[in-house]
Amino acid sequence: ATPTSIMVGTGRAAELGVLFRQGEALQSLKEIGVVALDKTGTLTKGRPDLTDFVAAPGFSETEVLKLVAAVESRSEHPIAEAIVDAAKRQGIPLASTDSFDAVPGFGVSATVGGRKVDVGADRFMTKLGLPITEFVSTADRLGQEGKSPLYAAIDGRLAAIIAVADPIKPSTPEAIKALHALGLKVAMITGDNRKTAEAIARQIGIDEVVAEVLPDGKVETVKRLREKFGKIAFVGDGINDAPALAEADIGLAIGTGTDIAIESADVVLMSGDLRGVVNAIALSKATIRNIR
């Protein structure tokens, strides 16, 4: 494309709330074969609610929620906010914590009033040597409902299964249809549970799901999807999306996302949802057509 057509194209994009930080991105976007999407905060609102809480026999729900909320009050994960809000709504006061520790992609731990509390994914419990066998069928059901199951352990005993659900952004299903209409494959990359990810993917028509990806595994996933489908655009919002945004042929950051994601991206979507991805690709194709 000529410099003029690129200027016109990026100007038109800006009117649609799509900011090209790299002029060349407008040209290369038309060559992609797959769009890979981060789940939390990109496809979904990134503001989950607590939906289910089942205490193990011998544990009181209120007591476990109190301990778990105390630990989560120290975490910045969206899941943490959901749990703390639920405790507040039930009028449970936040207890103070000691020796808080977060294990990215796994969960969080702390001591609350002398009791050791761990909260996180099934792989976190496995890492702690706590089998989740008694909750497997509940977890399966929650996953099929598109909810994310978590587990709480108190003093080394499994104490509860907790579910959170993160609503899909209203514009997401339409945007995925539009990407398909442009002839693209659509993939989803998430650290969340496989069953949950697959249930959400089915609802919104995702072609390829890569679940239970650890924070530093997103780059490898982008490389693998590129081998399978060709040039890749990755869309994300979070701190741990930054390396994948840089690795992708085109990185697109959600404008409401973290600064580091925006700084690592070629394109910024000011609308805060996926309509911008569709506009950006459609514009790329139109701009290139114009100069032929």
Catalytic (active-site) positions: 38
Q: Alpha-carbon distance 205 to 186, whole Å?
A: 8
Q: Alpha-carbon distance 97 to 121, whole Å?
A: 21
**Residue 237 interacts with which of Mg ion, ligand ADP, none, CB < 5 to 8 Å by class:** Mg ion
Task: State which of positions 223-262 bind ligand ADP (CB under 6 A).
Answer: 238
Token pair belonging to 21: 């930080």
Is position 40 an interface residue for ligand ADP (rule: CB under 6 A)? yes
Binding mask 214-243 for Mg ion (x = CB under 5 A): -----------------------xx-----
Using CB under 5 A, pick the residue from 10, 40, 97, 111 that binds Mg ion.
40
Token pair belonging to 179: 């990407």
Token pair belonging to 130: 């706590």
Residue 253 Cβ vs Mg ion, minimum distance, rounded to whole Å = 10
User: Nearer Cβ to ligand ADP, position 148 or 221?
Assistant: 148
Is position 77 an interface residue for ligand ADP (rule: CB under 6 A)? yes
Instruction: Give one DSSP letter per residue of 84-151, joined into a string.
Output: HHHHHHTTPPPPPEEEEEEETTTEEEEEETTEEEEEE-HHHHHHTT---GGGHHHHHHHHHTT-EEEE
Token pair belonging to 178: 């539009």
Is position 135 an interface residue for ligand ADP (rule: CB under 6 A)? no
For residue 56, give the DSSP letter.
P
Using CB under 6 A, pick the residue from 45, 70, 120, 287 that binds ligand ADP.
120
Give the residue carrying structure tokens 């780059």: 219
Which span sits near Mg ion by CB under 5 A: 32-40, 76-84, 85-93, 219-227?
A: 32-40
User: Nearer Cβ to ligand ADP, position 105 or 173?
Assistant: 105
Is position 258 an interface residue for Mg ion (rule: CB under 5 A)? no
